[in-house]
Amino acid sequence: MRSGTDQFWRMVRLPVTLALLSVCCASEYDDIPWKPDSFNSGPSYSKPPQCVDIPDDLRLCQNVGYTRMLLPNLLDHETMAEVKQQASSWVPLVHKKCHPSTQILLCSLFAPVCLDRPIYPCRWMCEAVRDSCTPIMEAFGFPWPEMLTCNKFPQGDMCIAMTNTTGEEAKTTGSPSICPACDNEMQTDTILDHMCASEFAFKSKIKEVKRENTDRKVTLQKRKKMLKTGSLKKKDLKNLVLYLKNGADCPCHQLDNPGNQYLIMGRTAEKQYLLTGIHKWDKSSKEFKKAMKKLKTYKCPVYDNVFK
């Protein structure tokens, strides 16, 4: 039976002999001052890294192919509490399945595998994930973050990649067919993910939907029941218009049925109000009722600390 670390090697492009890299199995990890040529500076830690178990509540990196990680990680997070807080914000993006390597890219940095030297993700893999997932992130008003600037990752063979990704999977892109705000499945986690990625939320009906360039312009009826105010003021609510970013051609059955009441969520980005989530207000749905109940006590990840 393969160990978790053995499975990991199937994702690493290493034409050199594996004897050059030994897996850390002690509780202490020797701090090797290694800095790859493609980086201006390597990780700097105030204490030697240790090899620790990936905790069950680090949702981002469950079932990633290995079970032990370095702490501090390659993003200079020195405590597990910090890793969990920052990593939790990325779980919704992995759930969107914008690229098959999204989880591997993120976990190679948040929860790096225990080896005798840091192994970073390959630049080409980062670029593939970036190109596919950026449209999804932009739909929620988030740019591709500086911490994932791809040109700082190595181009050579000593890097992490998905060698078992098929050609068709590798072509996955954030195309117009992807409509992140309009997930059709009524699931509690999806509703909570959308709510956490939003600055405001309310119950309302749709007045009009029009295409505007590559976006969809959604005009709402004046009557609204606020659930989450955010930065919205009363004067903003009267004639509120939301934009479904890059969503002119994406499937969104909610926008085709304006007569229904909807849970509508959004956020401000570049002087526009973006539609980040829309779900039918359906009290007969167990998932919807569960989400509404959980919202009262649910603590959202701190997105603004990550997507910058």
pLDDT tens digits for 227-264?
888 888 878 887 789 999 888 888 888 888 878 899 99
Q: Is the pLDDT of residue 102 over 90?
A: yes
What pLDDT is stored for residue 16 in this prediction?
Answer: 29
Q: Is the pLDDT of residue 105 over 90?
A: yes
Of the pLDDT bands very low, low, confident and very high (cuts 50, 70, 90), residue 34 is: very low
Compute the distance between CA of residue 264 and CA of residue 195 in angstroms, rounded to an integer: 9
Residues of the chain above pLDDT 70, percent: 76
What pLDDT is stored for residue 187 in this prediction?
Answer: 84
What pLDDT is stored for residue 45 in this prediction?
Answer: 57
- Range(s) of the chain covered by CATH 1.10.2000.10: 4-170
E strand spans, 89-183: 159-160
Higher pLDDT, 6 or 135: 135
DSSP state of 43: -
- 121-153 pLDDT tens trace: 999 999 999 999 988 888 777 889 998 999 999
CATH number of this structure's domain 180-305: 2.40.50.120
What pLDDT is stored for residue 190 in this prediction?
Answer: 80
Higher pLDDT, 197 or 108: 108
Compute the distance between CA of residue 249 and CA of residue 198 in angstroms, rounded to an integer: 22
Compute the distance between CA of residue 224 and CA of residue 19 in angstroms, rounded to an integer: 64
- 151-197 pLDDT tens trace: 999 987 789 987 554 434 444 444 445 577 886 667 888 888 888 87
- Range(s) of the chain covered by CATH 2.40.50.120: 180-305
- Return contacts of 185-189, CB within 8 angstroms, 24+ apart: 186/279, 186/280, 186/282, 186/285, 186/287, 186/288, 187/287, 188/287, 188/288, 188/290, 188/291, 188/294, 189/95
Q: Which two tokens stand for residue 116?
A: 């005798």
What pLDDT is stored for residue 301 in this prediction?
Answer: 67
Contacts of 59 (CB under 8 A, 6+ apart): 87, 88, 91
What's the rounded mean pLDDT across residues 265-276? 87
Of the pLDDT bands very low, low, confident and very high (cuts 50, 70, 90), residue 28 is: very low
- 35-86 pLDDT tens trace: 333 333 445 556 678 999 999 999 999 988 899 999 999 999 999 999 998 8
Q: Is the pLDDT of residue 307 over 60?
A: no
What's the rounded mean pLDDT across residues 14-22? 29
Contacts of 271 (CB under 8 A, 6+ apart): none
Domain formed by 4-170, architecture: Orthogonal Bundle (1.10)
